[in-house]
Amino acid sequence: MKKEFYDALIQLTEEKNVLTDEPLKNHVTFRVGGAADYFVSPESAEEVQKIILLCKEAGMPYYILGNGSNLLVADDGMDGIVLQIYKNYSGIEVRGNELIVKAGTLLSSTSRAALNEELTGFEFAGGIPGTFGGAVVMNAGAYGGEMVQVLKEVTVLTKEGEIKILKAEELELGYRTSNVLKNEYVVLEGVIALKKGNKEEIKAKTPTIETVSY
């Protein structure tokens, strides 16, 4: 079964993106935790969609992981697949005053992109460790700002396997919460709407991970 499932996975993404019995301590910031049966790092929304469909067809449990910040994993590890939406699935596109951000993109990278484009409104996220997708799930915030203030729309994979675009107001964003987990969505990318600003003022208001203590 394990060999058959592995062979099926490498038909959906490159073989280098599929690891077996992978220690999760290598992928979380606390550097502790046992192994995952499979550790997969897809490179596109279509790969995410196909891999999750394969898991459902095979009855294989799966878990979504970003960059593993502040996450504790048990020493006996995790059964099934850990699907990492991070470096392999990251990137930012600029569209006027909007940034289209893939779910695996770090918030710090997104904040720097906004700064480079002289766009204000995302300064609060510069010091938050984590990915854009994770920030959507928990409506991340700091320094008086939070995702709900800038998020315009999100592309998700539904539990039925459909890729769908939702307006921010459809996510029921509240204090460190949303309906993403309840509805079993997987965040693929999102659009944040910002405003033109002064680069030096934006820089002065942007904390960095190095200057924030947790």
Answer for the pair 110, 99: CB distance below 8 angstroms, yes or no.
yes
Percent of the chain with pLDDT over 90: 93
* Closest residue by Cα to residue 52 from 187, 161, 181: 161
Q: Can you tell me the distance from the alpha carbon of 201 to that of 188, in angstroms, rounded to the nearest whole number?
A: 31
To the question of pTM greater than 0.85 for the whole model, the response is yes
Q: Can you tell me the distance from the alpha carbon of 75 to that of 25, in angstroms, rounded to the nearest whole number?
A: 9
Q: For 93-134, how does the pLDDT look when each residue is reduced to its tens digit (9 = 90+)?
A: 999 999 999 999 999 999 999 999 999 999 999 999 999 999
Tell me what pLDDT residue 209 has. Answer: 52
Tokens of 172: 């029921």
Tell me what pLDDT residue 1 has. Answer: 58
- Please tell me the number of Cα atoms within 13 Å of 125 on its side-chain side: 32
